[in-house]
Amino acid sequence: MVLKQASEEIDRCIQKKEDYQSGPRKPGRPPLFDKQIEVSIKKREVAKQALDTAESHQNRMKEAVQQIGKIYLPVDLKTGKLKETEAVSESLEKCFADIESVASEVNLLDRSLKRIKKAKKVIVDMIATILFFTWPFEAKWKPFPCRQMLKRL
């Protein structure tokens, strides 16, 4: 919205300058239209930079949340192997660290920070679920020597 307003202000300044130059001259010094246009352009650049920063933060947050969904699977979708719970735990911690870093950069409201902390508390339960899912498979296949042979293949 701010970017749109800044662009409209530039257009208004340019229009004022054109109207002044096309009409009859008024007594006194001419207004500093070029200076006004330059100030408006700087405002637009600041607004554009703020918009780019906000979009960057939004994309980083979105990617971290999507990464949590990809990590929170007991099986690696590329290899088809069971994931190690330690690796899942470290990856989840990293995702939440990214989320918290973006939240601190943006200065989110306390309400939002509380929600992030509440979601972070669930990591333990998420790891327990992964462990619950993988444990029967590990218990079933660990005693068999064919498992080592399958790993070599």
Same domain, 123 and 93: yes
Instruction: Summarize the chain as % helix, strand, coil (round to 5).
Output: 80, 0, 20
**Domain ranges, residue 126:** 74-153
Residues 48 and 94 reside in one and the same domain = no
The more confident residue out of 32 and 136 is 32
**What is the pTM (predicted TM-score) of this model?**
0.68
Residues 55 and 81 in one domain: no
- Work out the angle at residue 15's Cα, subtended by the Cα atoms of residues 12 and 19, and round it to the nearest 5 degrees: 140
Asked if residue 47 and residue 111 are part of one domain, the reply reads: no
- What is the per-residue pLDDT for 1? 65
Query: Are 82 and 75 within 8 A, CB to CB?
Result: yes
**pLDDT for res 65:** 92
In sequence order, what DSSP letters do the residues of 77-131 get, joined into one string? TTT-PBPPHHHHHHHHHHHHHHHHHHHHHHT--HHHHHHHHHHHTTHHHHHHHHH
Q: From 134, 117, 115, select the one nearest 72 (Cα to Cα).
A: 134
Mean pLDDT check: name the lowest of 26-35, 38-47, 129-138. Answer: 129-138
